[in-house]
Amino acid sequence: MKKLLFTLTLLATLTGVQAFAANKPKTVIHVINVRFKPEASKADIAKGIAAIETVAGKYKGIKNVWLDPITVQGGDSKFTHVLVMEFESPEALKKYTDSPEQKEWYKVWLPIRDLSNTHDVTNK
């Protein structure tokens, strides 16, 4: 009985590992680390972040957004926020660059942004 239970537990564990390993979406995660200008008010920052939701609702290539950071690490760079946009594909991200939706967001975003860097991640 113990041998059967061990075998079933091992099988369930291996199946779980295989299922996890197989979950490699082809979307693109666009991570934005940002530090806002010292003179940017909390209201302006909230407006800039909310504008990401507006853009995501208009640009069909954006699937999801994450706008409420839990932890932000940055050492001396003093990044205060991390924001994430999930694009349907590398092509959707490429078409987003300089799109009317991005330009609309930048009208709100660029005046309050002091420093940002981005990282784009996908699976092959």
Nearest in space to 36 (alpha carbons), one of 79, 84, 82, 73: 79
Q: Note whether residue 9 is domain-resident.
A: no
Task: Transcribe 18-42 into DSSP letters.
Answer: HHHHH-----EEEEEEEEE-TT--H
Q: What's this model's pTM, rounded to 2 decimal places?
A: 0.77
Q: Note whether residue 11 is domain-resident.
A: no
Q: Note whether residue 6 is domain-resident.
A: no
Residue 95, burial from CB neighbour count under 10 angstroms (0-12, 13-18, 19+) = middle
Nearest in space to 32 (alpha carbons), one of 76, 87, 100, 99: 87
Q: What is the mean pLDDT of each run of 10 residues along the chain (124 residues)?
A: 53 56 86 94 96 94 92 74 95 96 95 94 90
Number of domains in the chain: 1
Q: Note whether residue 18 is domain-resident.
A: no
CATH number at residue 66: 3.30.70.100
Distance CA(14)–CA(7), nearest Å, equals 10
Residue 106: predicted pLDDT: 95
pLDDT digit string, tens, across residues 21-55: 668 899 999 999 999 999 999 999 999 999 999 99
Q: Note whether residue 15 is domain-resident.
A: no
Q: Note whether residue 93 is domain-resident.
A: yes
Residue 21: predicted pLDDT: 60
Q: Note whether residue 107 is domain-resident.
A: yes
Distance CA(84)–CA(34), nearest Å, equals 11
Residue range of the domain that includes 76: 24-121
Distance CA(83)–CA(89), nearest Å, equals 18
Check if the beta carbon of residue 38 is closer than 8 Å to that of residue 114.
yes
Chain centroid to CA 26: 14
